[in-house]
Amino acid sequence: MSANKSIFDAVKNLQEIEETFEMVQILNEEGEIVSPDLDPKLSDDELVELMRRMVFTRILDQRSISLNRQGRLGFYAPTAGQEASQIASHYALEKADWILPGYRDVPQIVWHGVPLSQAFLWSRGHFAGGQSPEGVNVLSPQIIIGAQYVQTAGVALGLQKRGKEAVAVTYTGDGGSSQGDFYEGINFASAFKSPAIFIIQNNQFAISTPRHLQTGAKTLAQKGVAAGIPSIQVDGMDPLAVYMATKEARERAVKGEGPSLIETVCYRYGPHTMAGDDPTRYRTSETDEEWGKKDPIIRFRKYLEAKGLWDETKEEAVITDAKEQIKAAIKEADSVPKQKVTDLISIMHDDNSMPVNLKEQYELYAEKESK
Partner 1 sequence: MAQMTMIQAITDALRCELKDDENVLVFGEDVGVNGGVFRATEGLQKEFGEGRVFDTPLAESGIGGLAIGLALEGFRPVPEIQFFGFVYEVMDSISGQLARLRYRSGGNLSAPVTIRSPFGGGVHTPEMHSDSLEGLMAQQPGIKVVVPSTPYDAKGLLIASIRDNDPVVFLEHLKLYRSFREEVPEESYTIELGKADVKREGTDLSIITYGAMVHESLKAAEELEKEGHSVEVIDLRTIQPLDIATIIASVEKTNRAIVVQEAQKQAGVAAQVVAEINERAILSLEAPVLRVAAPDTIYPFPQAESVWLPNYKDVVATAKKVLEF
Residue 140 C-beta: closest distance to partner 1, Å: 6
Q: Is 130 in the site for partner 1 (CB under 8 A)?
A: yes
From candidates 156, 200, 237, 304, binder to partner 1 by CB under 8 A: 156
Helix ranges (DSSP H) in 125-256: 147-162, 180-191, 224-227, 239-254
Distance of CA 230 to the CA centre of its chain: 19
HSE-up (13 A, CA, CB side) for residue 75: 14
Q: Is 154 in the site for partner 1 (CB under 8 A)?
A: yes
Of the ranges 38-46, 47-55, 142-150, 250-258, which one interacts with partner 1 (CB under 8 A)? 142-150
Q: Is 131 in the site for partner 1 (CB under 8 A)?
A: yes
Dihedral angle over CA of 46, 295, 223, 11, nearest 10:
130
Cβ proximity of 6 and 204 under 8 Å: no
Q: Is 70 in the site for partner 1 (CB under 8 A)?
A: no
Residue 160 C-beta: closest distance to partner 1, Å: 9
- 168 vs 318, beta carbon nearer partner 1: 168
Q: Put residue 31 in one of left, alpha, beta given phi > 0 → left and psi -120 to 50 → alpha.
A: left
Residue 150 C-beta: closest distance to partner 1, Å: 2
Q: Is 129 in the site for partner 1 (CB under 8 A)?
A: yes
E strand or H helix at 210, and its extent? strand 209-210
Q: Is 74 in the site for partner 1 (CB under 8 A)?
A: no
Q: Is 357 in the site for partner 1 (CB under 8 A)?
A: yes
Residue 16 C-beta: closest distance to partner 1, Å: 27
Q: Is 95 in the site for partner 1 (CB under 8 A)?
A: no
Q: Would residue 268 show up in a list of annotated catalytic residues for this protein?
A: yes
CA–CA distance, 168 with 146 (Å, rounded to integer): 15
- 2 vs 357, beta carbon nearer partner 1: 357
* Bridging pattern class, strands 205-206 and 209-210: antiparallel
Binding mask 190-219 for partner 1 (x = CB under 8 A): -x----------------------------
Q: Is 210 exposed, middle or buried (CB count within 10 Å of its CB: 0-12, 13-18, 19+)?
A: middle
Residue 364 C-beta: closest distance to partner 1, Å: 13
Of the ranges 6-14, 146-154, 209-217, 260-268, which one interacts with partner 1 (CB under 8 A)? 146-154
Residue 126 C-beta: closest distance to partner 1, Å: 9
Q: Per residue in 52-69, is it b (16+ CB within 10 Å) or e — as a string?
A: bbbbbbbbbbbbbbebbe
Give, as ranges, the residues between 304 and 343 that touch partner 1 (CB under 8 A).
Answer: none
Helix ranges (DSSP H) in the chain: 10-19, 44-69, 83, 89-91, 106-111, 116-124, 147-162, 180-191, 224-227, 239-254, 285-292, 296-306, 312-335, 341-346, 356-369
Q: Would residue 282 show up in a list of annotated catalytic residues for this protein?
A: yes
Q: Is 292 in the site for partner 1 (CB under 8 A)?
A: no
Which residues bind to partner 1, rule: CB under 8 A? Answer: 98, 127-132, 134, 139-140, 144, 147, 149-159, 161-162, 168, 180-181, 184-185, 187-188, 191, 344, 346-350, 352-353, 355-358
Task: Report the catalytic residues.
Answer: 268, 272, 282
